[in-house]
């Protein structure tokens, strides 16, 4: 298991990265420490093989135990209890491992030498495996296969670091660092170099040994932050980390840049480097970029026949719309697999899916089964985003069920891979994707007043001002939709029940296909019935449209949007209805979710509760934006209301968040409605 640690998040500093790693190491040692004492109680026998006897005798003659450290087994353990002698030494090292991490976390220094601790998991496993072999050799295999084997499995799974952190940073930040280096060396501006020149210089430096910079390198705060992160990676044991993910990767030089920075910062065991291709153009160029990397001898020797490539669902969807992004992601995976086979490299696809459909979310089983043939060979990596961790892993039975889904779907995809789409289906999808992208971008990026409408009609601005997101809502303070992160972009439209980023473009694409040739409708029907990828894509849009409610979105428009923008909102509403009708034609359904009546019933049960939250939210937004606005609501004449002291002003009756910049209670009301609507809109299945 890896946690994706986003170094690009301003709240994730190098110091935070270091502290999290040390804290996880301390917690792991502490958990193992208590279990070692349980094993010491259990393994009291004296029979053992010669290998364990020799080790126990050596440890017994040299051991010195500080009685203050332990509650049990604090006295010298006699030599006729050899397993306890071995485990006592393991316990000593675990104690020192925990205390060293604690001291480093608190003070930055430790008086415990590193050689008194476990520095890698193999050192930890070796004495445990020795005990296991000895028990089996002496006829005590049932004992060996009990608590000891369980403990071995835990250690093998979680290691000394408990979890591995994936470090993630945007490619532009690495470019800035290398630009500072080349300018300092007076050899030019790395930013201004062509891709070919960048690769040539990076490879020449990777093949050489000279240091590129020292303490005198001029650094901005951003450059120092990137280099300090690499220094943390170099300082801590390598088992704390998983991969180094490069967001917004576009070219081979992005990967080589990270390799060079790892070497320059003296990372002894370099992290594997994973390019993340996100936007539509980057996905299209990804196979050629990876092929260029694999053709470089230095890089091929470095990866030892294995490579991960991450593909991003969120930003590709924000860039081109759901239909075009889904199709390009499908094609990119196919081409990447072909490239990997050509160079004899085992490729692991790393899926950067979010929780919502607009960010690649959906039922796990169907999502995996809809992947292209040959892209899953018994393994895959998937990002489980923060907003869905609790619903997928928050309780033991949920965690077990989630892992079952992943395992079952991965095995099924391998045993019964989906068939490749027919050439005519591909041609039609290519044509539809072009139309869908054109329609999506004409509204989102080319409509002059779209940004104004978006910020008025949704709670996007309020969301960005509240401390309920995992990171700032924008990559840059200034800028429009392109600078907005994918989470608030999807989140804002979800709140209004309009879900525009998910469905926009589908209607125009289907209408174009049918208008060009009426026979294409039958082709689309066949694609829905026979092609898992297309069926899952359409089914997810059906589910989103079932959750949507244009009348609720119209209420947001009426209360929050200026009158001169109402026609634009109505135009989008008409587009919504047209898209819904066209989706039903493609699926061959008379009403939404006709093929899943159980899900349809569940959504109908949710609807009244979510609608109340929507109405409450839109009036709250109106009061926040227009403090002079007053909602006229007749109180329910219950006993509680009648007994209330109505002479007190509302400000005294509602004191939920005294630090809020809004009127009393408004921010709390808005947060509650946001979370309630988000919960109601969660994917089901």
* Catalytic residue numbers, as ranges: 318
Coil, strand or helix at 664? coil
Q: Give the β-pairing of 272-277 and 2-6.
A: unpaired
Rg (CA), the chain: 29
Distance CA 177, CA 173 (A): 7
3-state DSSP of 331-366? HHHHHHHHHHHHCCCEEEEEEECCCCHHHCCCCHHH
Tokens standing for 238?
A: 């390598």
Distances (CA, A) of 65 to 77, 92, 93, 114, 126: 10, 8, 11, 18, 21
**Residue that the structure tokens 């093998």 belong to:** 156
Q: Is the Cβ–Cβ distance between 460 and 354 less than 8 Å? A: no
**Residue that the structure tokens 């004899």 belong to:** 344
Which of 617, 454, 604, 612 has its CA nearest to residue 543?
604
Q: Give the β-pairing of 164-170 and 306-312.
A: unpaired
DSSP conformation class of 414:
H
DSSP conformation class of 417:
P
Which of 219, 265, 273 has its CA nearest to residue 246?
273
DSSP conformation class of 97:
H
Alpha helix segments (H runs only) across 370-479: 386-393, 396-415, 423-444, 450-457, 460-465
Torsion of CA 312, 315, 320, 326, to 10 degrees: 30
DSSP 534-599: HHHHHHHHHHHHHH--HHHHHHHHHHHS-GGGHHHHHHHHHHHHHHHHHHHHHHT-SSTTTT-HHH
DSSP conformation class of 484:
B
């Amino acid at each position: 298991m890896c946690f994706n640690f986003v170094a690009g998040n301003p709240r994730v500093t190098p110091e935070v990265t270091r502290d999290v790693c040390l804290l996880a190491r301390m917690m792991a040692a502490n958990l193992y420490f208590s279990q070692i004492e349980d094993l010491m109680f259990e393994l009291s026998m004296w029979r053992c093989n010669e290998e364990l006897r020799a080790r126990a005798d050596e440890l017994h003659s040299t051991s010195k135990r500080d009685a203050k450290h332990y509650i049990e087994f604090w006295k010298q353990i006699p030599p006729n209890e050899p397993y306890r002698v071995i485990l006592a030494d393991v316990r000593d090292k675990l104690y020192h491992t925990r205390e060293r991490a604690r001291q480093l976390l608190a003070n930055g220094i430790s008086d415990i030498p590193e050689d008194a601790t476990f520095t890698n998991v193999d050192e930890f496993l070796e004495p445990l495996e020795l005990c296991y072999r000895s028990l089996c050799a002496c006829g005590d295999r049932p004992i060996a296969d009990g608590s000891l084997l369980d403990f071995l499995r835990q250690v093998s799974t979680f290691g000394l670091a408990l979890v591995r952190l994936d470090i993630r940073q945007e490619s532009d930040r690495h470019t800035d660092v290398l630009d500072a280096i080349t300018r300092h060396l007076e050899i030019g501006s790395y930013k201004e170099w062509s891709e070919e020149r960048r690769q040539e210089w990076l490879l020449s430096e990777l093949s050489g040994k000279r240091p590129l910079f020292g303490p005198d390198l001029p650094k901005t705060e951003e450059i120092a932050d990137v280099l300090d992160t690499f220094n943390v990676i170099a300082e801590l044991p390598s088992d704390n980390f998983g991969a180094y993910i490069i967001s917004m990767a576009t070219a081979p030089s992005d990967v080589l840049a990270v390799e060079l920075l790892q070497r320059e910062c003296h990372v002894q065991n370099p992290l594997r480097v994973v390019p993340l291709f996100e936007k539509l153009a980057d996905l299209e160029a990804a196979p050629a970029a990876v092929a260029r990397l694999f053709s470089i001898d230095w890089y091929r020797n470095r990866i030892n026949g294995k490579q991960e490539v991450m593909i991003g669902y969120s930003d590709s969807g924000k860039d081109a719309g759901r239909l075009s992004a889904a199709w390009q992601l499908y094609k990119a995976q196919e081409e990447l697999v072909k490239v990997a086979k050509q160079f004899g490299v085992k490729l692991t696809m790393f899926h950067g899916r979010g929780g919502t459909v607009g960010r690649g979310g959906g039922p796990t089983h169907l999502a995996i089964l809809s992947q292209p043939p040959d892209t899953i060979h018994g393994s895959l990596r998937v990002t489980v985003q923060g907003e869905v961790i609790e619903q997928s892993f928050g309780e033991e039975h949920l965690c077990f069920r989630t892992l079952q889904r992943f395992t079952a779907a991965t095995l099924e995809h391998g045993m019964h891979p989906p068939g490749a789409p027919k050439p005519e289906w591909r041609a039609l999808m290519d044509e539809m994707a072009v139309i869908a992208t054109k329609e999506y971008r004409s509204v989102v990026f080319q409509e002059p007043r779209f940004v104004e409408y978006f910020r008025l009609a949704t709670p996007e601005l309020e969301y960005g001002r509240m401390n309920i997101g995992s990171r700032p809502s924008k990559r840059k303070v200034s800028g429009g939709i392109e600078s907005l992160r994918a989470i608030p972009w999807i989140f804002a439209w979800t709140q209004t029940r309009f879900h525009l980023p998910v469905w926009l473009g589908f209607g125009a694409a289907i209408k174009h296909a049918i208008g060009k040739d009426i026979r294409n409708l039958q082709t689309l029907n066949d694609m829905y019935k026979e092609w898992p990828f297309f069926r899952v894509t359409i089914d997810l849009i059906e589910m989103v449209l079932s959750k949507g409610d244009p009348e609720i979105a119209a209420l947001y428009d009426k209360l929050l949007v200026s009158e001169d923008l109402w026609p634009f909102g109505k135009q989008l509403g008409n587009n919504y209805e047209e898209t819904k009708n066209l989706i039903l034609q493609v699926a061959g359904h008379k009403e939404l979710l006709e093929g899943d009546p159980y899900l349809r019933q569940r959504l109908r049960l949710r609807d009244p509760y979510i609608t109340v939250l929507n109405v409450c939210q839109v009036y709250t937004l109106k009061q926040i934006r227009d403090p002079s606005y007053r909602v006229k609501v007749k109180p329910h004449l219950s006993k509680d209301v009648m007994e209330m002291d109505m002479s007190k002003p509302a400000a005294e009756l509602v004191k939920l968040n005294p630090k809020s910049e809004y009127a009393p209670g408004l921010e709390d009301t808005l947060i509650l409605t946001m979370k309630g609507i988000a919960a109601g809109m969660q994917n089901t299945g």
